[in-house]
């Protein structure tokens, strides 16, 4: 086996036959891993392009990897009689570490977390639902902004898409299936825009006798974190502030009874790692520990609340046992993450706040 020292990482093709004879170790290796030796590959710089990577076959990718490995051996200037397994394991671990950090940048990105959060929350609800017990879940792919636009584009509530989808198509149609509740992945605050949206939703929900469950985040309380929300001493008087005039006005309407906001968010999954959620393709260790609150994946409490509604319906035929730790309101089977900061194992509380008080807002 030889290495062509003149081949550089440029965009031109590199002849494999000159670097890795196809009747030698290269061919033998590919035969063992059920791949086919290739005649030529492009320069390694091409792999920085996502389109090129997607169109590159496994044969070419592995050949490129072997090429890099052989070039490293060549540059070392030492004759290698036998590869040290310990050394190989070390370099593989280094690669796993680098890939893990790169993947962390994706997994902890705000936009990605929002998408994964919704799907993880829905997955949790589906996994906790016994569909043999006359329970049906339907998914409506509609963002909060799209729903807001739906109402703004409709001269009257009865002409909105949500009204047609839930009231006309189901509640008001012979043979239709009235919807028991709408569980949303929307987080609301007390701004005039969000209160107006809840007011519109409440009118549709009241017409179809269909409670709507959303979430309240820290911004609802004019705070940035749930820890700050938990520190509010007098939650009742807190809502006497001027910022909540429109919210209090909405609460005084009869239809507001059909809107429920729940909190706090709960842990959607454990961080990836060999002792938590192993990844088979490589040793991915997600860099997340207790203090890294925003690196954990949280999902809306509405999904956990809905799971209790389903459980109550299956047990009683009504969604009545959903409040209080002893009366069906306890949220169970949440992920528990143990982490060590050098002083022994500690537990990450699987909710954003262990006791946000008991705000009935």
DSSP per-residue string spanning 172-229: TSTT----S-EEEEEEE-SSHHHHHHHHHHHHHHHHTT--EEEEE-GGGGT-SSHHHH
Q: Is 52 among the domain residues? A: yes
Mean pLDDT for the chain?
87
User: Residues 122, 201: one domain?
Assistant: yes
Q: Is 338 among the domain residues? A: yes
Q: Is 104 among the domain residues? A: no
In percent, the amount of the chain with pLDDT more than 90 equals: 58
Q: Is 95 among the domain residues? A: no
Q: How many other CB atoms sit within 10 Å of the CB of residue 329?
A: 13
Domain C-terminal end among 76, 99, 118: 76
Q: At what angle do helices 144-152 and 192-207 cross, to 10 degrees?
A: 80
Please tell me the predicted confidence (pLDDT) of residue 26.
77
Q: What is the average pLDDT across 30-49?
A: 79
User: Residues 56, 121: one domain?
Assistant: no
Q: What is the pLDDT of residues 246-277, one digit of tens each?
A: 999 999 999 999 999 999 999 999 999 999 99
pTM of the model: 0.80
User: Residues 203, 259: one domain?
Assistant: yes
Q: What is the pLDDT of residues 80-123, one digit of tens each?
A: 777 778 877 888 898 899 999 999 999 999 999 999 999 999 99
User: Residues 45, 125: one domain?
Assistant: no
Q: What is the average pLDDT across 130-159?
A: 96
User: Residues 70, 162: one domain?
Assistant: no
Q: Is 252 left (phi over 0), alpha (psi -120 to 50) or beta?
A: alpha
Domain C-terminal end among 58, 76, 94: 76
Q: Is 96 among the domain residues? A: no
Q: Residue 63: pLDDT band by 50, 70, 90 thresholds?
A: confident
Q: Is the pLDDT of residue 12 over 50?
A: no
Q: Single out the residue of 272, 281, 286, 279 nearest to residue 335, CA to CA.
A: 272
Q: Is the pLDDT of residue 357 over 60?
A: no
User: Residues 70, 119: one domain?
Assistant: no
User: Residues 63, 125: one domain?
Assistant: no
User: Residues 13, 149: one domain?
Assistant: no
Q: How many other CB atoms sit within 10 Å of the CB of residue 361?
A: 16
Please tell me the predicted confidence (pLDDT) of residue 147.
98
Q: Is 358 among the domain residues? A: no
Q: Is 97 among the domain residues? A: no
Domain C-terminal end among 20, 52, 76: 76
Q: What is the average pLDDT across 327-343?
A: 87
Q: Residue 345: pLDDT band by 50, 70, 90 thresholds?
A: confident
User: Residues 31, 180: one domain?
Assistant: no
Please tell me the predicted confidence (pLDDT) of residue 41.
75
Say how many domains are in the chain. Answer: 2
User: Residues 198, 315: one domain?
Assistant: yes
Please tell me the predicted confidence (pLDDT) of residue 9.
42
Please tell me the predicted confidence (pLDDT) of residue 254.
97
Which residues, 6+ apart, have CB-to-CB distance to 137 below 8 Å? 125, 126, 129, 131
User: Residues 71, 114: one domain?
Assistant: no
Q: What is the average pLDDT across 219-246?
A: 92
Q: Residue 321: pLDDT band by 50, 70, 90 thresholds?
A: confident
User: Residues 153, 278: one domain?
Assistant: yes
Question: What is each CA distance from 285 to 75, 291, 306, in whole angstroms?
Answer: 31, 17, 32
Q: Is the pLDDT of residue 132 over 90?
A: yes
Q: Is 205 among the domain residues? A: yes
Q: Is the pLDDT of residue 66 over 50?
A: yes
Higher pLDDT, 74 or 279: 279
Q: Residue 3: pLDDT band by 50, 70, 90 thresholds?
A: very low
Which residues, 6+ apart, have CB-to-CB distance to 255 below 8 Å? 199, 202, 203, 205, 206
Residue 59 belongs to domain spanning: 8-76
């Amino acid at each position: 086996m030889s290495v062509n020292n003149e081949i550089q990482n440029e965009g031109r093709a590199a002849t494999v036959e000159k670097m890795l004879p196809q009747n030698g170790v290269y061919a033998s290796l590919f035969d063992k891993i059920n791949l086919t030796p290739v005649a030529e590959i492009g320069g390694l710089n091409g792999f920085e392009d996502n389109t090129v990577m997607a169109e590159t076959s496994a044969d070419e990718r592995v050949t490129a990897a072997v090429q890099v490995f052989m070039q490293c051996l060549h540059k070392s200037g030492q004759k290698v009689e036998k590869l040290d397994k310990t050394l190989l394991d070390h370099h593989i671990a280094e690669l796993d570490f680098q890939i893990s950090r790169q993947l962390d940048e994706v997994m902890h990105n705000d936009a990605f977390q929002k998408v994964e959060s919704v799907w993880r929350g829905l997955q949790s609800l589906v996994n906790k639902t016994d569909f043999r017990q006359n329970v049906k879940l339907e998914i409506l792919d509609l963002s909060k902004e799209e729903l807001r636009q739906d109402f703004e584009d409709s001269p009257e509530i009865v002409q909105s898409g949500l009204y047609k989808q839930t009231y006309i198509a189901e509640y008001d149609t012979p043979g239709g299936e009235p919807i028991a509740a709408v569980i949303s992945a929307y987080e609301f605050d007390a701004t005039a825009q969000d209160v107006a949206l809840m007011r519109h939703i409440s009118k549709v929900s009241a017409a179809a006798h269909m409670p709507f469950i959303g979430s309240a985040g820290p911004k609802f309380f004019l705070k940035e974190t749930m820890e700050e929300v938990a520190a509010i001493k007098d939650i009742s008087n807190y809502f006497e502030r001027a910022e909540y005039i429109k919210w209090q006005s909405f609460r005084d309407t009869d239809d507001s009874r059909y809107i429920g906001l729940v909190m706090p968010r709960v842990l959607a999954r454990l961080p990836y790692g060999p002792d938590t959620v192993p990844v088979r393709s490589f040793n991915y260790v997600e860099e997340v520990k207790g203090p890294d609150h925003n690196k954990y994946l949280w999902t809306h409490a509405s999904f956990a609340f809905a799971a209790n509604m389903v459980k109550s319906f299956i047990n009683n035929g009504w969604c009545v046992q959903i409040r209080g730790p002893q009366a069906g309101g306890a949220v169970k089977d949440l992920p528990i993450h143990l982490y060590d900061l050098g002083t022994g194992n500690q537990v990450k509380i699987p909710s954003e706040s262990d006791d946000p008080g008991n705000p009935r807002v």
